[in-house]
Structure 1
């Protein structure tokens, strides 16, 4: 099973249209094409859609070490609006990995590379294995 196949089981993110593009140890990239169903009443991308995109990228990066990881705390800062027709990308980077915890930063950008939001999260790692393995980089 690949990480992409595993995270298709994240029904909420999948139904939102989020696609996991890449996963490496401590890193992932996901995307979301913004459609009318992702908009708030002001015709801008709903904050929850952006949070969900960042959260899936976090999950992929945090679980890339082979054991299940769950968010302990997450914070998002919105810096620029996005709207219909935009494509948003979330890139998760591991900042710290310990025995049972980890810290991650996720930058959310649009198709032009403009920063839309920043997301920071800490995770707790369980001993339970995930059903996929990331190959070590050569």
Structure 2
């Protein structure tokens, strides 16, 4: 099995159990080893008193892209730490896209950067996540 095939199969196994991501209407459009791209349309209930997207939803989108990117190796991996910088507001009806890219991976740890943009290509947020592998895999040890 190629690394790309493994990434797709591990991602599908994780997606099947990810109720939060699916409930928020996120879609996964690209997966490769150490990379993932997810999108989400901002719904009315995701806006705050300023009529902009609540930052927690932007963080959640970035965190989900991060999660899928760092789980592409069929090793269960969780967030150890994450931070976000909000750069511009997002509004109801906007389609936000989070693109996660592996920056560094060694042993049980990894660092991933996620850029969140809107449908016009405007940067909305920058997210950095630190991952940590835990016991277990998404697929059997020798998936075919």
TM exceeding 0.5: yes
Unaligned ranges ≥5, structure 2: 1-8
Runs of 5+ consecutive residues of structure 1 not aligned to the other structure: 133-138
Bigger fraction of residues in strand: 1
1:32 corresponds in structure 2 to: 40
Shift of 1:2: 5.9
Q: Structure 1, residues 26-48: CA drift from partner, whole Å, max 9, x if none?
A: 10000001110111121100111
Number of the residue aligned with 2:54: 46
Aligned twin of 1:136: none
Residues 34-85 of structure 1: CA deviation (Å, up to 9, x unaligned): 1101111211001111111001100110000110111000000000001011
1:8 and 1:14 in contact (8 A); partners too: no
Give the superposed CA RMSD.
1.7
Instruction: Work out whether 1:10 is the aligned partner of 2:6.
Output: no
**Pairs aligned (count):** 133
- Checking the alignment, whether the CA contact within 8 Å between 2:10 and 2:72 is kept in structure 1 is no
Distance in 2, Cα, partners of 1:73 & 1:105: 12
TM-score, structure 2 normalization: 0.86
Instruction: Point out 4+ residue stretches in structure 1 off by more than 2 angstroms.
Output: none
Corresponding residue of 1:75: 83
Give the TM-score normalised by the residue count of structure 1.
Answer: 0.90
